[in-house]
Chains A and B, each alone.
Chain A
Amino acid sequence: MSLDPEILSRIQFAFVVSFHILFPAFTIGLASWLAMCEGLYLATSRDVFRRLYQFWVKIFAVSFGMGVVSGIVMSFQFGTNWSVFAEATAPVLGPLFSYEVLTAFFLEATFLGIMLFGWNKVGPRLHFFATAMVAIGTMLSAFWILSANSWMHTPDGFELRDGIFYPVDWFKIVFNPSFPYRLVHMVLAAYLTTAFVILGVGAWYRLRDTAHESARVMLMMGVGFVSIVTPLQIVAGDFHGLKTLEYQPAKIAAMEAHWDTERGAALALFAWPDSAAETNHFEIAIPNLASLILTHEWNGELVGLKDFPRSERPPVAPIFFSFRIMVGLGILMLIAGMSGLWLAWRRRLFDTPWYHRYLVAMTPSGFIAVLAGWITTEIGRQPYTVYGLLRTSDSVSPVGAPSVLATLVTFVVVYGIVFGAGLYYILRVVRTGPERPPVDPKPDPYATPARPLSYPNESVGERS
C-alpha cells in the first residue's frame, strides 16, 4: 500500500466520520430523554425529574459541543479531500446538506443556548419548548443526513450527464429506496445507545448504593425502553438487510463471506475470509440459515461473491467481522432487555447485582454497535462512492499526499486530546452524580462559579 492521496483521504474520512457519528448517536437519544424528563417534571412536579434533567444536560452539553466541532470538519471534508466527488454530486447532495443546516443546525444551536442558559430568563413552558426544539432538531438532522447517505447507496431521481448528477425528481432523491430503512435503523440505534448509557449509569449508582431515587428511575425507564425497542430494532435491521440484498447484493455476500451462488445457503457463525483464495478458513456454519434470514425461504438463492468481478467486490473481512460484532451486540442487548423485564416482574430489578454489573459492562455497547454497523454499510459500498456509478478512486481531490498525511496526523492527535478531555469531564460529572450532598452554601462571588462541580447554587432551584 503506497501513500497515495486516495488511501490517505479514505483513512482520514473514515476516522473523522467514525469519530463524529458517536456524538449524534448519543445526542439524538439524549435530547429526547431530556425532553421527556423535563416534560415529566412539568406534569408531575416530582423533583427527581428535575435533578435528572440537570444532571444529563451537562453530559449533553459536552457531547453536543464535541459533535458540533467534529461536524464542522465533516462539512469541509467533501471539498478538501473529495472535490471530484463533490463536483459530480453537488447538484443532488448540496441541497440535502443545506436543508440539514437550515432545518436542524440553526434550531439545535439556537435553542441549546436557551436550554443551557435560559432557566432564569424564560418561563418553564418556554424552556420546555426550547428542549423540545433541540430534540426535534436532532431528528431533522438525522433525516437529511441519512437521506444524503442513502442516496449514495441507492441513487435515484437523477440524470447523469458528462459525469455530473443532475436532479430530476426531488421526491425520489430524498426518499430513495434504502432511506426509510436506514433512517429507522439509525434512529433506533441512537435511542438504544443512549438507553444503554443511562442504564449503565443507573446500574453503577445501584452498585455503589448511591443516588437512589435517580438510579431507580433510570433503571426502570431504561429497561422499559430497551425491552421494547431492541426487538423492534432487530426487525428493522432485517428489513434493511432485505433492501440491501435487492440493491447491493455484493455487500450482502461480503457480510456473509459467501463466495458461491447457491440455494439453501449456510450462515457462517465464525470464519476467516480469504479474499485471495476466494474461500473461508475455520468456518463454523448453520445450514440453510442465511437463505432463511435473507430471503425468508428455506431454499432461497443467495448470490456469491464469485459472481462479481474482483474489481467490483468490497473488501470482505472487515465487513464480515463488523457485521457479526453488530449482530452479537444486538443479541446481548436483547438479553439485557428481557432479563430486566423478568427481574422487574419479580420485583428484583433494583436488587440484582449481577444484572447491574452486566448493564455497566453494556454501557458502551450502543457506540460499538453503531460504529460496527457503519463500517459494514460504508465499506460494503466500496469500490464506489455513489454505488455503481462513481468509483472512490475517481472521487478524490487534486491534493498532494503530504498535505493529506499532515492533516490526518493532526486530526488524530487533536481528536485524541479533545475526545480524551471530553470523556474525562463526562466521567467526572457521572461520578459527582445527580443527587450530590449539600455543599457549604457560602458563595464567594469571586471564586466559585468557575468550579462548576463544586458550585452549590444551581440556578434551576430558584425557578418559581
Chain B
Amino acid sequence: MTTMELLPLVWFGIIGFGVIMYVLLDGFVLGIGILSGFAHGEHERDIMMNSVAPIWDGNETWLVLGGVGLLAAFPPAYTVLLPALYLPLSLMLIALIFRGVAFEFRFKANRPLGWNMAFNLGSIVATFCQGVTLGAIVQGIDAEGAQYVGGAFDWLSAFTLLTGCALVAGYALLGATWVVMKTSGVLQAKAYGWSRMLLTSVIVFMALVSLYVPFLDGNYAERWFGFPHALLMVPFPLAAIAVSYGLYWSVAHRHEHLPFLLSLAMFVVGYAGLAASFWPHIIPPHLTIWNAASPPETQGFLIVGLGFLLPFILFYTGWSYWIFRGKVTRDMGYH
C-alpha cells in the first residue's frame, strides 16, 4: 500500500476517533442536560451540573477537532456536509451556545429558571440536531465534486427524525449512568430508574434504525444481507445484544461504574456498525475516503504533529478526570 492510499486510511481512523470521543464525552454532558428537566429542584440540578462543570469544556473541544480535522484531511467531505446541513448545524450551534453559557450564567443569576431552561432545551436541541446530521449522512448527500447540489431541506426525512430521537435517548442513557456513578442517595436511586427506562428505549431505537438502514439504499442491504459480507457484519448485532444484557444486569444489581462503561460500549458498537455500513465512503453515496482526501503534503504535515500531541492531550485529559474523580458534592463550585 502506498502513502497516497495509506494516509487517507489513517485519517479516516483519526477523524473517526475524534468523532467517537466527542460523542462519548460530550454525549454524557448533553445527557445531563436532557435529564436536568427531570431533576427535582435546584439542589439536584446543582449536583448534576457540578459533576460535569470542570470537564465539559474539554469534552466539547473534540467537536471542534472533528470539524477542523475534516476540513484539513477531507476538504470535499467538509464542504459538502456543512452547506447540506446548514440549518440543522446552525440550530445545533445556537443550542450549544445556550447550553455552554448556562454553565457560567446559571450560577451567577439570582433567578436561574431561564438558564435552567437554556441548559435543558439547549442540550435536547443540540443532541437532536446531531442525530439528524448522523441520519442525513447515512441516507446520503447529493454532491458534484466538492460542492453540495441539493436543497435546503434535503436532510429532512422520517429516517433523520428517527435518528434525532434515537440520539436524544442515547445521550440521556449516557447521562443517567454518569449520574449513577457520580452521586449517591436519592438522586442516584432516581438515576437507576432513568437508566433502566432509557436503556429499553435505546434498544427499541437501535432496532428501528437497524431495520430502516437496509431499505435506504441497495448497497446497505447488500452489505448486511448479502453473502459473504453479512458474516463480517454479524458481530455488531451480537455485541449489541450482549452489551444490552450486561447493562440490564448491572443496573439491576446496582453496580456504580459498570452501567456507565457499558453505555459507552453500547455507543461504540452502534457507531462501528454504522461506519461499517457505509465504509469506504466518508459522505455516501459519492465521496469515498480516497476521492475526498486532501493532498499528502497536508495530511502528512498534520499527522506528524498529531502523533506527538495526541498522547499529551489524552494524558492531561485523563489527569483532569482523575483530579475530579469520586462522588460529587453540591458545594464544589468556584463561584
Contacts and interface: CB of A to CB of B under 8 A. Distances in A.
A113 interface: yes
Contacts of A101: 61, 64-65, 68-69
A166 interface: yes
A109 B58 contact: yes
Interface stretch (A71-79, A267-275, A320-328, A359-367): A71-79
Contact of A90 (B75, B100, B103): B75
Contacts of A422: 101, 104-105
Interface string B267-307: 00000000000000000000000000011011001100110
Contacts of B104: 61-62, 65, 422, 425
Interface stretch (A292-300, A302-310, A339-347, A392-400): A392-400
B234 interface: no
Nearest to A63: B104
Interface string B80-117: 11110011011001101110110111111110100000
Chain A interface mostly? helix
B54 interface: yes
A114 interface: yes
A407 interface: yes
B140 interface: no
B256 interface: no
A418 interface: yes
Nearest to B94: A414
B83 A106 contact: no
Chain B interface mostly? helix
Contact of A170 (B89, B301, B330): B301
A68 interface: yes
A116 interface: yes
B79 A79 contact: yes
B53 interface: yes
Interface string A398-424: 111011001100110010001001100
A402 B105 contact: no
A302 to B, nearest CB: 39
Interface stretch (B144-152, B185-193, B219-227): B144-152
Interface residues of B, number: 75
A71 B100 CA distance: 12
Interface in B303-335: 305-306, 309-310, 313, 316-317, 320, 323-324, 330-335
Contacts of A421: 101, 105
Given A101-B64, A422-B105, A79 B331 contact: no
Given A72-B60, A407-B86, A451-B110, A91 B323 contact: no
Q: Which of A90, A399, A425 has the most CB of B within 10 A?
A: A90
A61 B53 CA distance: 12
Contact of B93 (A58, A72, A102, A122): A72
Given A86-B75, A94-B294, A97-B68, A118 B302 contact: no
24 contacts: A65-B101, A70-B97, A76-B82, A79-B71, A79-B79, A80-B82, A83-B147, A87-B76, A98-B71, A100-B68, A102-B65, A103-B309, A114-B54, A116-B54, A117-B333, A122-B323, A167-B295, A168-B297, A170-B301, A398-B148, A411-B94, A414-B98, A418-B97, A445-B331
Interface of B: 42-43, 46, 53-55, 57-58, 60-61, 63-65, 67-69, 71-73, 75-76, 78-83, 86-87, 89-90, 93-94, 96-98, 100-101, 103-110, 112, 146-149, 151-152, 294-295, 297-298, 301-302, 305-306, 309-310, 313, 316-317, 320, 323-324, 330-335
